[in-house]
Amino acid sequence: MGSNIYSEKNKLNDLTGSEWKFSTKSVINKAYPINMQHKLRSQHGGQKPPQLCEDIIKIFTKKGMIVLDPFMGVGGTLLGASLCSRKAIGIDITEKWIEIYKKVSELEKLEIQETYCGDSFKILDKIKNESVDFILTDVPYWDMDSREHTRNKNKTNKSKLNNFDNENWVSKKEWLNTMKKILAKSMKKLKHGKYMAVFIGDMYKDSEYHCLSAELALKMSEIKGLTMKANLIWEDNSKSLHVFGYPAAFIPSMIHQNILIFRRD
Ligand SMILES: C[S@@+](CC[C@H](N)C(=O)[O-])C[C@H]1O[C@@H](n2cnc3c(N)ncnc32)[C@H](O)[C@@H]1O
């Protein structure tokens, strides 16, 4: 351990001893390049750097293994998997995001991975149980996606403008229950002893800090057969800072996200 040698006993990944030691740091503060068709991928507000996903995938898999993302967006996970010669399966409810992912792969001359469009809860039935080596996903933001959906609907349908209020928004409880339902089903696709990593950002909303990472971790602890193993922090130094509460109140500039790590027993 601590050496630059790869041990044949390593069952988890292809890292050498010193790479393994570095990979266990609980804070990721490496600067990730703004590349790989960033402008195209930025049409999706929540895209993750493919190289960050690649780094995480390399900690939990070996070459050729299979990664699943039930909320793939424009494909941070899938692109990361292609970069390090892993196979991947991605699902998203919005066709447009999958199309952008395919376009980016074409432009970057990367393998186009297996994708499905639809509600993960249903699509996951197509994937064989215990067939996947790692899950890397980034859950849809609590109420943000439905807020966006409502806005888009209002843009194209003027008669519904007056309906733009909070009534259609998903409550936090509903969001947590949906995430638990989909992630519990996703877990069944994992082989025993394999890992699941979930990106989740905390949120400051309506003058209150919502520790969504802790709330989601607690909710996921209800899933039988899944044990939480770590809470990694990804510090994103590319985020611009704004002066929110000055000069009267402290309001955090959110430049980090959590990556919750679970293992299937
Ligand atoms: C935070 S984004 C993922 C972003 C992704 N990591 C990337 O790099 O682009 C979450 C995605 O989940 C999708 N989504 C929301 N509900 C879903 C569902 N029930 N089934 C499948 N996808 C869903 C949204 O369309 C959104 O693209």
Q: In testing the pocket of ligand 1, which one of 36, 43, 54, 72 has its CB within 8 Å of the most ligand atoms? A: 72
Q: What is the pLDDT of residue 106?
A: 98
Residue 109: strand pairing partners:
none
Q: Residues of the chain whose pLDDT is less than 70?
A: 1-2, 143-169
Instruction: Give the pLDDT score at 169.
Output: 53
Q: What is the pTM of this model?
A: 0.92
Q: In whole angstroms, what is the distance from residue 54 CA to residue 86 CA?
A: 9
pLDDT of residue 154: 43
Q: Rounded distance, CA 193 to CA 263, Å?
A: 6
Q: Would you state the pLDDT for residue 206? A: 86
- Ligand 1 geometric centre to CA of 78 (Å): 13
Name the one residue in this structure whose structure tokens are 């888009």.
152
Chain position carrying tokens 């994103």: 236
Amino acid 160: pLDDT: 28
| pLDDT (tens digit per residue) in 214-260 | 999 999 999 999 999 999 999 998 888 888 899 999 999 999 999 99
Give the per-residue pLDDT at 238: 85
Which residue puts its alpha carbon closest to atom 19 of ligand 1? 119
**pLDDT given for residue 12 in this prediction:** 98
- Enumerate the domain spans of the chain: 21-138+171-264
Range 21-138+171-264 classified under CATH 3.40.50.150: yes
Does 14 sit in the ligand 1 pocket, CB within 6 Å? Answer: no
Give residue for tokens 């993750």: 48
Segments in the chain forming alpha helices (H)? 17-23, 38-41, 50-60, 76-83, 95-107, 120-123, 144-156, 172-189, 212-220
**pLDDT tens column, 154-175:** 443 332 222 333 444 578 999 9
